[in-house]
Amino acid sequence: MLKQLEELQLEALNELGQVSELKGLESWRVRCLGKRSKLTQVLRSLASLPLEERKKIGALANGTKVSLESSLAEKKKFLEEDHLASFLSRERLDITLPGQPIPAGRLHPVTQTLEEICSIFTSMGFQVAEGPDVEWDYYNFEALNIPPQHPARDMFATLWIDYEETTGQARLLRTHTSPMQIRVMEKERPPIRMIVPGRVYRYEATDATHESMFYQVEGLAIDMNITLADLKGILFEFCHCLFGEERKVRFRCDYFPFVEPGAEIAIECSSCHGAGCRLCSYSGWLEILGAGMVHPDVLRRVDIDPEVYSGFAFGMGVERIPMLRYGIDDIRLFYSNDLRFLKQF
């Protein structure tokens, strides 16, 4: 029986040496240490042996069992470490590889221009306000000296929305930011220095310099002793900030019912440098804004005494500014969502 024990231990260790994967260990355990293993049979047969022999063989058989169990535990540990090492060598993460670049968004060129315009005027002491895109006839026209049937309504091809029965007022998409002159003056008392950026809408055919939805920035300054020289000084300073000292600026008379006198500013065309081209309708200039001294009737309507106070207002087209700065020859590029165009800014 001693010999049998020695042989089965050798045989079991030999087999254990050949196990190369963790899952092979369990079947080895069942075969060599399980209920039907040769070792268990030896242990069971101890009962039939004489006492002395039973003690001796029993101790040896148990020793064999303990030694095989510890060999199993050792082998398990070895295989687990081996498994982990080979897993790590396969799955190793190379943290030196550069990551996938995340495409960064950018501000639309019109938004960038709006921010620049606002920062120039706020540095001159103007505050920024915003108003509704859907406006009443009263603010868009009547309060600005444009009653129904006034021919100046034709200047602003209007998108009408509806008509409110109770007040008899018509609602429209504002055709300019000038209604905010009235809203601001209804709320604030002079001195007022305000700019109003926002979208405006016109029922117009589009072309290289006209869109049916575009941005304007309104400006309004009301105080004692404000003159046309203040208007001209502020607007020329603004043009120089945006276009540089060298760029030619044209300031000449224009008509708007809500100012007196009225003026417009045009900048030398960026495409032809004044020679005349499709962009500037062969005039050499592109108009960027209308302006003037606020009409006394407009001031009276909001309870500001024109004998005491005076002021100027202006309204500029925002898209035309980047067109003139970067030589963009079609306003429709801003809203056609072509990334090849937008990514240049």
Q: What are the residues binding ligand FA5 (CB under 6 A)?
A: 176, 178, 202, 204, 210-211, 214, 216, 256, 259, 262, 287-292, 313-317, 319-320, 331
Cβ-proximal residues to 205 (8 Å cutoff; 6+ apart), any chain: none
Identity of the residue numbered 281: S
CB of residue 289 to ligand FA5, shortest distance in Å: 5
Which residues of the chain form beta strands (DSSP E)? 127-128, 134-136, 159-164, 169-173, 192-201, 213-223, 249-253, 259-268, 285-294, 310-317
CB of residue 176 to ligand FA5, shortest distance in Å: 3
Taking the least distance from each CB to ligand FA5, the nearer of 163 and 203 is: 203
CB of residue 281 to ligand FA5, shortest distance in Å: 13
Taking the least distance from each CB to ligand FA5, the nearer of 190 and 290 is: 290
Taking the least distance from each CB to ligand FA5, the nearer of 65 and 320 is: 320
CB of residue 303 to ligand FA5, shortest distance in Å: 20
23 and 80 in contact (C-beta within 8 Å)?
Answer: no
Taking the least distance from each CB to ligand FA5, the nearer of 58 and 261 is: 261
Q: How far apart are CA 163 and CA 160, in angstroms?
A: 9
Taking the least distance from each CB to ligand FA5, the nearer of 190 and 219 is: 219
CB of residue 240 to ligand FA5, shortest distance in Å: 18
- Name the residue with the smallest CB distance to ligand FA5: 317
Rounded to 5°, angle at Cα 333 from 331 and 339: 155
Rounded to 5°, angle at Cα 95 from 90 and 99: 115
CB of residue 332 to ligand FA5, shortest distance in Å: 10
**Both tokens of residue 22?**
């963790």
Collapsing DSSP to helix, strand or coil, 327 comes out as: coil
Taking the least distance from each CB to ligand FA5, the nearer of 120 and 259 is: 259
Q: How far apart are CA 149 and CA 168, in angstroms?
A: 16
